[in-house]
Amino acid sequence: MTEACGLVTVHRVTGVINTPRILRIRSHSPSTETVYVRLLLGQTPKLWEEAAEALAVALKAERVGIEKVRPQVIALIVQRSEPFGQVIVPPDLPGDADAASLARVYLGETEYGNDWHAPLIGQHWLISGATGSGKNSVTWMALRACAPLIRDGLVRLHVVNPKGTELNALRSVSYRYAESDADIVDVVSGFWSVMQDRKKVLAEQGRRTFEMSRATPLDLLIIDELGAVTGYGDRSLTKGVQAVFPLILSQARALGGSVIGALQEPTKDVIPQRDLFSLRVCLRATSAGHVDMVLGEDMRRRGALADEIPNEAASAGIGFVVKQRSRTPMRVRAAYCDDADIAELVRVAGWPHTELSTTAAG
pLDDT at 47: 95
Alpha-carbon dihedral sign for residues 25, 28, 33, 36: negative
* Residue 333, H or E segment: strand 329-334
Report CA-CA distances (Å) from 12 to 9, 15, 16, 344.
9, 6, 8, 69
The Cα diameter of the chain in Å comes to 85
Distance separating alpha carbons of residues 320 and 332, to the nearest angstrom:
6
- Domain borders along the chain are 9-79, 97-349
Report the b/e string of 90-116 with b at 16+ CB within 10 A. beebbeebeebebeebbbbbbbbeeeb
pLDDT at 358: 45
Each residue's pLDDT, cut to its tens digit, for the chain (362 residues) gives 888 899 998 888 888 899 999 999 999 888 999 999 999 999 999 999 999 999 999 999 999 999 999 999 999 999 999 999 899 999 999 888 998 999 999 999 999 999 999 999 999 999 999 999 999 999 999 999 999 999 999 999 999 999 888 899 999 999 999 999 899 999 999 999 999 999 998 888 888 788 999 989 999 999 998 888 887 655 678 788 888 999 999 999 999 999 999 998 887 666 768 889 999 999 999 999 999 999 999 999 989 999 999 999 999 999 999 987 778 899 999 999 999 999 999 999 985 543 444 445 44
pLDDT at 270: 66
> CB under 8 Å to 304, separation ≥6 — which residues?
65, 282, 291, 295, 320, 322, 329
> CB under 8 Å to 192, separation ≥6 — which residues?
244, 247, 248, 252
| DSSP conformation class of 251 | H
Distance separating alpha carbons of residues 182 and 257, to the nearest angstrom:
22
| DSSP conformation class of 6 | T
In three-state secondary structure terms, 238 is: helix
Distance separating alpha carbons of residues 277 and 153, to the nearest angstrom:
25
> CB under 8 Å to 128, separation ≥6 — which residues?
135, 262, 263, 264, 266, 280, 281, 282, 283, 285, 290, 294
pLDDT at 234: 59
Does the global pTM surpass 0.85? yes
Q: Quick one: how many helices (H) and strands (E) in the chain?
A: 9, 16
Are 158 and 221 contacting, i.e. CB atoms less than 8 angstroms apart? yes
Considering the domain 97-349, what is its CATH architecture? 3-Layer(aba) Sandwich (3.40)
Annotation: CATH topology of 9-79:
Threonyl-tRNA Synthetase; Chain A, domain 2 (3.30.980)
